[in-house]
Structure formats: structure tokens, C-alpha cells
Structure 1
Amino acid sequence: MNGTKVNALSHFFRGKGRNMVDKQLADFQDGDQVKVFALIKDAQIRKTRKGDDYLALTFSDRSGDLAGNFWDVDEKQEETLKPGVVVYVEGTRSAYQGKPQLNIDDVRLATVNEPNAPEDYVARAPESEDKIKDDLRPFVAAITNPTWRKIVFYLLKQHGEDFFKSPAAKSNHHAYAGGLSFHTLSILRLAKAVCGLYPDINKGLLYAGALLHDLGKTVELSGAVATQYTVTGKLIGHISLIDGEICAACDELGLDQDDMQVVLLRHMVLSHHGLQEYGSPVRPELMEAEILHHLDELDASIMMMDSALAKTAPGDFTDRIFALDNRSFYRPEENKKNE
């Protein structure tokens, strides 16, 4: 991996978000008056039944997201209230169909004298970039098959710093700066544990597939600030993107795309969503591919549940989690970790 590019990423993990209002979005409860600076993560112009425009907005800071509708908007507001800008918003926190929402009273752009830097409102991975790099190295080194090793090294170098600053998703899981590399590392840690229990697993193939499976998200997603799907991401998707890059890497490295080792690695990437209706061109037909699919699902699910439970009082249920079949999860009264 290109050390110069990776070391240059350290500034992405410096500094703390500055907010002139003490509370962050996750601190408010239903019925509370909300007055905060926040990043607009998403903005959609929609129509009321009468045909009037309104903005469906999603606000974000390092504590999480909160959605709300801004009614009776004018053309200037539609033009200026875009994803990626920092605003001052006032309203009331409430709930709709089991999900938190903000009943917006007013929204305006933050001024030059107010905390208006978008990067200050972006959540970051729970581990530092340096630790993620250090912990990834042994997994890369453990890939001894020369074909897989060459392709993994080549593609990680190609993506460079983007791998370490990109989110792993727009909203559901690991949707923060550094989320992609942290999600990848989490899967590799799970893979190591599984390989320790089942010695017949091809560890090198599983590690190589894990390292590459979501690498196309550096192209599919716009970045950590107000993450959106790119045009290329919408039209092609991260699975097809990285499969194409594996083939291109073979051309650059003088490898035969039809070599069985290349085909096995491509299958790991192409099948990791498990089902064709979830975006995989093929279903897993290798043991390592089936394992990668389940580890990917496990890590994403735990992250979503853990994030929701952290915002839930003991004895209550979380808000509904759409990506987990719209279920709520209960946090027991005595929820002591590691017991």
C-alpha cells in the first residue's frame, strides 16, 4: 500500500466538531425544542397533495441523523438548502410511525461567523486511522497466494487514501468517515476467528475477498460529507465496479483473467450480497464466499443494532431499523457489557 497516501490521511481524524449549541441531534427527546447547527445530509424536493413544494431534509452531526419536512419553501430555499451545507435549524423533536422526526420551524444557512465547516459534523470511525492501518497489515501479509496477493496490493494502492476516508454506506451502517476501512477490518477480525475454528477454510481467499468486497464504494459513494450515490455508483454499483477493476488489474499485472485463481477471487466479490435480488450477480458457491456473505451481514447488523441501542434507555425499545426488517430491539434494564 502507498504509505505516503495513507499517512496523509491523518488530518481526517483530527479535531472535534464545534457547535455553538450544547446539544447534538441525538441528545433530544420527543417533545424537546431543538435549536442546533447541523449538516444537511440529504435534501429532496417533493410535492404536497395540493401540488406545493416542500423539502424532505435529513440533518446530521457526529451523534447521528434526524429527518424532517420543511413546508412552504421558496425557490431560494430550494436552491440553497442542499446536501453538504451547514445550517441552523429550529423545531420540535417528535416521532412518526415509530421513527424520530423534526417538526421544523425554520432553517437557515450558517454564517461565516458561525460553525459552518461541514467536516466538523461528520461522524468518524471508532478507531483511529493509524490503528486501522496497523491492524490491516497482518491480514494483507497473510495472503500468500501470489495471484491474490498481487491483485489485492495493486487495488489497495490504486484506491489509496479513499479507502481510509470513505464511508461504507450512505445511511445504514458504518456511514461515517473511515467507515469503509473499519467495516473491512471488522470482517477480517471475524474471519480470523472463524478460520481458527474451521481449519479447512482457505484463509487467504477469505481475507482477499474481504479486503476487496466493498472497495468499489470509493467510487459508488460521493464521500463522507453528505454522502450521496454517484452517477457511476447508481448505474453500475460497487460490486460490478470492483469486479471490473480486478479484471483491469490482471491486464496491468500480466495475469490471465481466466485463471482459476482470478475466477475464485472474482466470485468472492460478485456473490457477497448473497442473493441476486440484493445485488449479487451470482449466489455464493464457494464455502469462503458463503462465509464472507454472512460475516458481512453480521458486522453490518451488529453495527446498526449497537448504534440504535446506544441511543435507547434501558427498558425501552430502539426506533425501528428499516434495514433489519423494520424491527425494534429491546435494551434490557441490566445491559452490562461483557457479562
Structure 2
Amino acid sequence: MKLPKELIEKFKEPFISELENYINSEVELIVKVKSKRLLENKNGQKYLLITFEDKTGILRAIDWFNAEKNDSKIDVGNVVRANGKVVLYDGRLQLNILQDSDIIVLNNNEYSYERFVAESKIPIDVIMKDLNNMIKSIKNYHLKKLLEEIFNDKELSEKFKEAPAGLKIHHNYRGGLAEHSITVAKMCDNLSKVYPWINRDLLITGALLHDIGKIYDYVINPKGIEITKSGELIGHIVKGYEIVEKKIESIGLNEELKTELLHMIISHHGELEWGSPIVPKTPEAFILHMIENLDSKLNRIQNIKEKELETNPDKEWSDFDPNLGRRFLLKHIERG
């Protein structure tokens, strides 16, 4: 993952993605413990094998000197300060923990969450400019007014710009919700030109609002992205319905349009077994489900490709992805 210059300059300790510039050098890192295993070699010497991570990648680390001591100090999920030498081992970067160095577990106030929460590659001001232009293109007065009421609401707008669209599956980074929403809206806009008989204004409105409830599903904190109690117990479909219905009351949307828009929000997962309380029963609801599902899957495929090639640039096939039920060709013919 490439980082903007201003972010690199902000932090003293390098990110994992920068370590190729530090081969055979000693570094101090602030990283999260992804996994750990206390092992023993054939000579009976114990060693600690650790996988560290930050938002730019993962890193194998090994401790030959204080294995048992450091194993007892750290847990998976801890953010730690580790000192070691960066080496190239078996074609991959590895951190060899220094002999006289303890791994230090950090408190939340001792590091910035920006190390561990990735963000959209598209600047949020660009996303919001596109979103505002999309709102301006809506011809139906009441639907346009509804979108303006929601995205001009300071609390809702700020949460929308910060929120991820998921915890693990897709767009699971800061600004991911806004990116997903505008991408779905753009795809729906293009489809409305192919099928001019559909209600474009209703489709675009549903696209921009279908996941609005996710602003209450997740919280970004020093450990990364976590699901909230509301997200766990209520979920974004119900919260989104509540947000939109409440705003509708203040603008006088007619009952027929209100019903069809709310139907799009509660049916966008497509199937009962996928979390929708009802399946899509209008053309616009059906299109929204298909398009938002496509965008989420393409985002996941893109992330799989980037992460696997970052670890091994020569890899031809991805690992099996349980969510999508297959592995993917990584060295496919790209746009030239």
C-alpha cells in the first residue's frame, strides 16, 4: 500500500510497506500482533514466531533470544513497539527481534489509530464533490430535498465521511461507506441510460442511502474498526430505515414514493438468508441489490489481488477466499 508523503513524514517509525528500504538495518516499529506461536527447533531451542501488521501490510518476525518472556507479555490484538533487524528471508521481508530488546505493549494513548485503519484511496473531498453533483442531477424535488436534508445534516454527514462500509468483507476502511455509496450511484446512473424506463431519480436516491445506517454500525478506535452495540444488536438496515423515514417526515414525500424508497433500503441485501427482511419487488430495488452486491465483490477481489501480490509479486493464484468461494487469477490481462 502506497502512502501519501505527508502521512509518512508524520510518523517517526516506518510502516511495514516501507521496510524494503531498510533491509539489513535496525528499525523500531509500532505494529499490531496478528498471530504468535511459541515453537522449538530440532536442537530444543525455543523461538517466538510472530506476525505483525499495520494498515500497509503484514510482516513475519522471529525472536530467538527472549521467546518465552515476550510470548508471556503479548497477546493477539496488542499494539506493540518492537525493535529488530530487517532481513530478506526466503524471498520475504522478516524482522529479527534484537537480543537486548523487549517487545513493549502500548496503551491506546501511545500511538495513532492512523497506523492501523486504512482509508479510501479516493480523497474524501473528491467523493463528496461527486456525491453533491449526483444530488444536483436529481430532478424530483422531494427526493432531491431528502438527499440535501440528510447530507447537509452535520452529524450525519461527518459520520458518513468517516465510516467504513464493512468490518472485513468489503470497503473496510475509513471513507469506505462514502466510496461504496457513490460508486453504486454512478453504476446505477449508467444503467439508467441503458434502461431509460426505470425511475432514475428513485434509483440514485436509493443507491446513495441504502447503507446510511452503517454510520452507527462501526466505530474507528486505536485498535482499528470495531462493530458497535447498535451494529451488533440492531444493524444497518433497521438504522438506515429509521434515518430516512425520520427525514421523510420533515419534507412531505408522497406515500407511494416513500414506500418504494424504504423498500429499497430494507431489501438491498437481496435475499432473506442474506439479511433482508424482504426481497426486492420493484425494478429499482432489484437493480440496487445487484449493483451494490457487484461493487462489494469487486472491491473484495481488488483487495485480495493487491494484498497477495504485495506479499508475493510472482504469485499467479490467490489463496481460496471463503467469502467468494473460489480463488482468483492474480496475473490476468489488465487494462492496457
Normalising TM by the smaller chain, what interval?
0.7 to 0.9
Amino acid at match of 2:184: I
* Structure 1 residue 37 displacement after superposition: 2.6
Task: Map Cα deviations across residues 91-129 of structure 1 (whole Å, 9 max, x no partner).
Answer: xxxxxxxxxxx9xx98532489x9822213321111111
Q: Which residue of 1 aligns with 2:16?
A: 23
Equivalent of 2:123 in 114, 118, 128: 128
TM-score normalised by the chain length of structure 1: 0.72
Q: Which residue of 2 aligns with 1:162?
A: 159
Unaligned runs of 5+ in 2: 21-26, 36-49, 62-66, 85-93
TM-score normalised by the chain length of structure 2: 0.72
Conserved 8 A contact 1:168-1:176: yes
Equivalent of 2:287 in 279, 286, 291: 291
Q: Which residue of 1 aligns with 2:301?
A: 305
Compare CA radii of gyration and give the structure with the larger one.
Answer: 2
Amino acid at match of 1:189: K
Unaligned runs of 5+ in 1: 1-11, 28-33, 44-56, 91-101
* Structure 1 residue 217 displacement after superposition: 0.7
**What pairs up with 1:34-113 in 2 under 5 angstroms?**
36-39=29-32, 60-64=53-57, 85=79, 87-88=81-82, 108-110=104-106
Partner Cα distance (1:20, 1:181) in 2: 30
Q: Which residue of 2 aligns with 1:328?
A: 327
**What pairs up with 1:161-310 in 2 under 5 angstroms?**
161-223=158-220, 226-251=224-249, 253=250, 255=252, 259-310=255-306
Change (3 A) 1:288 1:304: same
Which of 1 and 2 has higher RCO (CA within 8 Å, sep 6+)? 1
Partner Cα distance (1:67, 1:205) in 2: 49
* Structure 1 residue 255 displacement after superposition: 2.8
Q: What is the percentage of aligned positions where both structures have the same residue?
A: 26
Partner Cα distance (2:57, 2:171) in 1: 11
Change (3 A) 1:231 1:111: closer
Task: Map Cα deviations across residues 139-184 of structure 1 (whole Å, 9 max, x no partner).
Answer: 1112222332232222223312111111111111111111110111
Quote the RMSD (CA, aligned, Å).
Answer: 3.9
* Structure 1 residue 59 displacement after superposition: 5.9
Task: Map Cα deviations across residues 4-56 of structure 1 (whole Å, 9 max, x no partner).
Answer: xxxxxxxx9963473635633998xxxxxx9953246x89xxxxxxxxxxxxx
Equivalenced residue count is 288
